[in-house]
């Protein structure tokens, strides 16, 4: 299967690159240092109609393909991974509503999410249900007119900032993963509260928190899909979002490569630019090769998502796995090219290296991606 970026997609890449260089890059180090959610970046993305890029036109978005979304995530991450995450999470959190929400639910929530008027959040992980997402302990008990949620989520990106939470809870514990259901929960709901806000290694501008539900009533119409379909909604959402995390990782790697190449041209040792040394040349050549290979896998998986292709799951897992490992390797090698300078906060590489790490962890650790890949490869044995 071959894909190609259209002229429109290449033009959009150029526009995002320009915007990122002018408005995002000057803020990137500061966002990392301050560790505070950058509302100015959120407004920049919303003002450029980017937060609704993945949301269908009928609900206030642009209805752009996942491939187009990947190009945007990549270009943003090239300068600032936190800003790219604002874009990525809005799509991740909206997807369960797009996929499984009723017409009324879509009309109620998606236009506000698309315009950026409100942030959205994907509320799956729990302390005892991380990689084992099916072990969800948050309970949703059926009552008159809806469900009452009790439980705690953790590591929730946009936790406390978002107004709309795509949330997964157990309605029928005796049915295992088939007993999980999905809901839209609003921040204003009685019984909804925000717990500990995490202090993180990277993506320092993103707010990640615990979310608590204590007798939190959610009306029946806020269920996404049928009762017991929540795990499938979560898995399909991740299948369609992992290419975007791959794109984010790819952008971080490309950004690190850009810095390393510039440095190799300019930095002089032994009387000439270090780029003349074969040791540096080979390091850069390997980095470039890995970045291009990751790009192919990411774009291919996004194209399969756009085609609604049955092989999406294995391909999005491979793209996320490979691109995030490349991001870790390339950022580490780029630090090496700069030597002592690369280790210092005066240069962006140490931030990029810290930011890269989480791409190997979130939206499923790379060990989980290998589980997904090998299960698809082997089938039932
Ligand atoms: N699309 C649709 N359905 C899927 C699916 C997918 N991609 N993956 C699994 N399912 C279905 C299966 O078909 C199965 O259905 P049946 O019971 O009808 O056979 C059901 O879901 C359970 O699947 P499985 O047995 O594979 O579930 P496991 O409990 O073994 O878990 C993994 C599978 C590990 C892949 C899953 O728990 C996972 O992805 N974990 C990581 C979660 C994650 O990414 N968290 C990060 C949150 S966002 S930061």
Last residue of a domain, one of 91, 115, 139: 115
Domain span at residue 156 reads 120-230
**pLDDT of 256 over the 90 cut:** yes
Which ligand 1 atom sits closest to the C-alpha of 364? 44
Work out the pLDDT band at 341, boundaries 50, 70, 90: very high
Phi first, then psi: give them for residue 216, nearest 5 degrees. Answer: -90, 115
Is there a domain that residue 210 lies in?
yes
Q: 7-19 vs 66-79: helix axis angle to the nearest 10?
A: 30
Distance 342 CA to ligand 1 centre (A): 40
Distance 178 CA to ligand 1 centre (A): 10
Is there a domain that residue 353 lies in?
yes
**pLDDT of 2 over the 70 cut:** no
Report how many domains make up the chain: 3
Q: Are residues 257 and 198 in the same domain?
A: no
What pLDDT digit, counting tens, does each position of 70-118 carry? 999 999 999 999 999 999 999 999 999 999 999 999 999 999 999 999 9
Distance 43 CA to ligand 1 centre (A): 35
Last residue of a domain, one of 80, 115, 150: 115
The predicted structure's pLDDT at residue 355: 98
Residue 6: burial class (beta carbons within 10 Å; 0-12, 13-18, 19+):
exposed
CATH code for position 44: 1.10.540.10
Cα–Cα distance for residue pair 135/95, rounded to 1 Å = 22
Nearest CA to ligand 1 atom 43: 364
Nearest CA to ligand 1 atom 5: 235
Q: Quick one: average pLDDT of 144-159?
A: 98
Work out the pLDDT band at 1, boundaries 50, 70, 90: low
Q: Are residues 190 and 214 in the same domain?
A: yes
The two tokens of residue 209 are 């928190």
> Is 352 in contact with 201 (CB distance < 8 Å)?
no
Between strands 192-197 and 268-269, the pairing is: unpaired
Q: Are residues 215 and 252 in the same domain?
A: no
Is there a domain that residue 35 lies in?
yes
pLDDT, mean over the chain: 97
Last residue of a domain, one of 66, 90, 115: 115
The predicted structure's pLDDT at residue 144: 97
Is there a domain that residue 39 lies in?
yes
Nearest CA to ligand 1 atom 29: 134
Which ligand 1 atom sits closest to the C-alpha of 368? 34
Is there a domain that residue 2 lies in?
no
For a mutational test of ligand 1's pocket, the pick from 231, 374, 375, i.e. the residue with the most ligand atoms closer than 8 A to its C-beta, is 231
CATH code for position 160: 2.40.110.10
What pLDDT digit, counting tens, does each position of 287-314 carry? 999 999 999 999 999 999 999 999 999 9
Which ligand 1 atom sits closest to the C-alpha of 155? 49
Q: Quick one: average pLDDT of 37-46?
A: 98
Give the up-direction half-sphere exposure of residue 215: CA atoms within 13 A in the CB hemisphere. Answer: 0
Nearest CA to ligand 1 atom 25: 177
Q: Are residues 108 and 68 in the same domain?
A: yes
Which ligand 1 atom sits closest to the C-alpha of 157? 49
Is there a domain that residue 1 lies in?
no
Is there a domain that residue 316 lies in?
yes
- Nearest alpha-carbon partner for 254 in 266, 243, 246: 246
Cα–Cα distance for residue pair 58/63, rounded to 1 Å = 8
> Is 319 in contact with 246 (CB distance < 8 Å)?
yes
Q: Are residues 126 and 106 in the same domain?
A: no
Q: Are residues 218 and 297 in the same domain?
A: no
The two tokens of residue 351 are 């931030």
Q: Which single residue is written with the structure tokens 């469900």?
A: 147
Q: Are residues 209 and 125 in the same domain?
A: yes
CATH code for position 325: 1.20.140.10
Which residues have any ligand 1 atom within 6 Å of their CB? 122, 124-125, 131-134, 177-178, 231-232, 235-236, 238-239, 313, 362-364, 368, 371-372
The two tokens of residue 118 are 């409100």
Q: Are residues 261 and 372 in the same domain?
A: yes
For a mutational test of ligand 1's pocket, the pick from 92, 208, 232, 324, i.e. the residue with the most ligand atoms closer than 8 A to its C-beta, is 232
Work out the pLDDT band at 380, boundaries 50, 70, 90: confident
For a mutational test of ligand 1's pocket, the pick from 88, 127, 177, 381, i.e. the residue with the most ligand atoms closer than 8 A to its C-beta, is 177
Is there a domain that residue 179 lies in?
yes
Distance 312 CA to ligand 1 centre (A): 14
Q: Are residues 156 and 197 in the same domain?
A: yes
Q: Are residues 261 and 319 in the same domain?
A: yes
The predicted structure's pLDDT at residue 381: 86
Distance 235 CA to ligand 1 centre (A): 5
Which ligand 1 atom sits closest to the C-alpha of 134? 29
Work out the pLDDT band at 3, boundaries 50, 70, 90: confident
Nearest CA to ligand 1 atom 47: 363
Is there a catalytic annotation at residue 363? yes
What pLDDT digit, counting tens, does each position of 343-368 carry? 999 999 999 999 999 999 999 999 99
Q: Are residues 373 and 258 in the same domain?
A: yes
> Is 126 in contact with 236 (CB distance < 8 Å)?
no
Q: Are residues 313 and 364 in the same domain?
A: yes
């Amino acid at each position: 299967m071959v894909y190609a970026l259209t002229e429109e997609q290449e033009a959009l890449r150029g526009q995002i690159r320009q915007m990122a260089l002018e408005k995002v890059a000057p803020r990137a180090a500061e966002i990392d240092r301050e560790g505070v959610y950058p509302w100015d970046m959120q407004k920049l993305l919303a003002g450029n109609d980017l937060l609704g890029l993945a949301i269908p036109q009928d609900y206030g978005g642009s209805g752009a393909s996942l491939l187009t979304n990947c190009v945007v995530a990549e270009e943003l991450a090239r300068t600032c991974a936190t800003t790219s995450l604002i874009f990525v999470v809005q799509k991740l959190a909206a997807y369960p509503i797009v996929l499984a929400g009723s017409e009324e639910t879509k009309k109620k929530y998606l236009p506000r999410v698309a315009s950026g008027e409100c942030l959205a959040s994907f509320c799956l992980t729990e302390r005892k249900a991380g990689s084992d997402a099916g072990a969800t302990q948050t309970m949703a008990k059926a009552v008159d007119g809806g469900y009452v949620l009790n439980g705690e989520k953790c590591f929730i990106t946009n936790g406390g900032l978002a107004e709309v939470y795509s949330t997964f809870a157990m309605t029928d514990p005796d049915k295992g993963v088939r007993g999980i259901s999905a809901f839209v929960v609003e921040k204003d709901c009685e019984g909804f509260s925000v717990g500990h806000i995490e202090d993180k290694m990277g993506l320092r501008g993103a707010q990640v928190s615990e979310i608590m539900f204590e007798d939190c009533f959610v009306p029946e119409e806020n269920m996404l899909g049928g009762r017991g379909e929540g795990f499938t909604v979560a898995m399909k959402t991740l299948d369609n979002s992992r290419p975007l995390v791959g794109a984010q990782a790819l952008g971080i790697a490309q950004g690190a490569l850009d810095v390393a190449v510039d440095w190799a041209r300019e930095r002089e040792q032994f009387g000439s630019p270090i780029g003349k040394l074969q040791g540096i040349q080979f390091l850069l050549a390997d980095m470039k090769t890995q970045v291009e290979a990751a790009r192919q896998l990411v774009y291919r998986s996004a194209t399969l998502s756009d085609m609604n292709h049955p092989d999406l799951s294995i391909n999005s897992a491979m793209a996320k796995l490979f691109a995030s490992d490349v991001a870790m390797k390339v950022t580490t090698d780029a630090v090496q090219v700069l030597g002592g300078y690369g280790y210092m906060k005066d240069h962006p590489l140490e931030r990029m290296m810290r930011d890269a790490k989480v791409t190997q962890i979130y939206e499923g650790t790379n060990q989980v991606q290998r589980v997904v890949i090998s299960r698809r490869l082997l089938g039932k044995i």
